[in-house]
Amino acid sequence: MRASGGWALRHFLQVLDASRDELAGIIDLAKRFRRGGYVGQPLRGKVAALLFEKPSTRTRVSFSSAVLRLGGDVIYLPSSELQLVRGEPLKDTARVLSRYVDVIVARLNLHSSLEEIVNYSSVPVINALTNLHHPCQALADIATMHEYAGGWRFKVAYIGDCGNVCRSLVQMCALFGIPITVASPKKYWLPAGEIQQYKEIASLAGGLLEFTEDPKAAAADVDFIYTDVFVSMGMEAEYEARLRDFLPRYRVTMKLFDVARPGAKFMHCMPIKRGEEVEEEVVESSRSIIFDQAEYRMHTSAALLAWIMGRTS
Ligand code: CP
């Protein structure tokens, strides 16, 4: 399908919606934005709608700032203030928004709702987090790792809940051939079919994907130890059960870094529940690169927007 500007209409619902070369190009552009600032106004005259069903600090502000820095305008649309809350169907909302704006950035509870928007949208749709995927987070994660590692040779351990952040990080590492080991109680692992699919992608790219229940084995000899909250938004009813399953074994501690490479860094998508998935001491230590990681959300969002709207040149 061609969009009105003559470029191909693309959406970014999960990491695998883009090729490795396309993602590498987005990361390269993000690095140029970080180093050289935001020259030119590639989104001048363009309007982005940020349709959010859930709270957000990083995603909302980084996308908004990115659009403004690229010369465009942003309309923030909490779903609670749209006719959606009174039962207007998503398929109508998607078609109406497509007449007003040039790109839809959506944070929705259900991935299936995002797919419904895509089915009816005539403008690019970007996933700003669903229950299944958080691809924009993974873009910032891999760009941050690439910068700290000075290239593509590094190893990653992900410790904790295998939710949307883990899935997107695994997809990203698999595509780039980056070895990654996920440590989590077995009942939280990604579905077996998905693990197999990502293992095959990793193998083709020269990487390796492993799942284990042993955080120490996962962290051995890695350059980055990554975690996320044990109880994501919308899972509050499972709070006690999840803490029982994850603690204390899966908390990232200073001690865990003893088995990692000497300069290993700590990463977290944020927000953090200090004392649950990670010790406060780790968060505040020199190993922690969480604020560079958070900053990259803006640069990778800007680069993604420029790419998806055909405005990279
Ligand atoms: N990491 C992340 O998506 O943060 P927000 O929920 O604040 O957007």
Cα of 95 from ligand 1 centre, angstroms: 27
Least confident of 92-96, 160-164, 171-175, 235-239: 235-239
Nearest of 55, 66, 75, 58 to residue 26 by alpha carbon: 66
* Residue 170, amino acid: V
> What pLDDT does residue 2 have?
45
Residue spans of beta strands (DSSP E) within 84-216: 103-107, 125-127, 156-159, 180-183, 209-212
Domains of the chain: 3-133+297-308 (3.40.50.1370), 137-294 (3.40.50.1370)
* Residues 206-219, mean pLDDT to the nearest whole number: 98
Residue spans of beta strands (DSSP E) within the chain: 47-52, 73-78, 103-107, 125-127, 156-159, 180-183, 209-212, 224-227, 265-268
pLDDT per position as a tens digit, 60-80: 999 999 999 999 999 999 999
Per-residue confidence band for 107, with pLDDT thresholds at 50, 70 and 90: very high
pLDDT per position as a tens digit, 265-281: 999 999 999 999 999 99
Q: Which of 58, 60, 107, 251 is catalytic?
A: 107
CB contact at 8 A, 173 and 203: no
Measured distance CA(119)–CA(121) in Å, rounded: 6
> What pLDDT does residue 312 have?
87
> What pLDDT does residue 5 have?
55
Measured distance CA(106)–CA(53) in Å, rounded: 8
127 pocket-lining for ligand 1 (C-beta < 6 Å): no
> What pLDDT does residue 4 have?
52
In the chain, the percentage of residues whose pLDDT exceeds 90 is: 94
Cα of 165 from ligand 1 centre, angstroms: 10
13 pocket-lining for ligand 1 (C-beta < 6 Å): no
Nearest of 26, 59, 34 to residue 292 by alpha carbon: 34
What share of residues in the chain are helix, strand, coil (percent, to 5)? 45, 15, 40
Protein residue with its CA nearest to atom 1 in ligand 1 = 269
pLDDT per position as a tens digit, 118-153: 999 999 999 999 999 999 999 999 999 999 999 999
pTM confidence score: 0.97
The residue whose two tokens read 């465009």 is: 72
HEC string of 48-71?
Answer: EEEEECCCCCHHHHHHHHHHHHCC
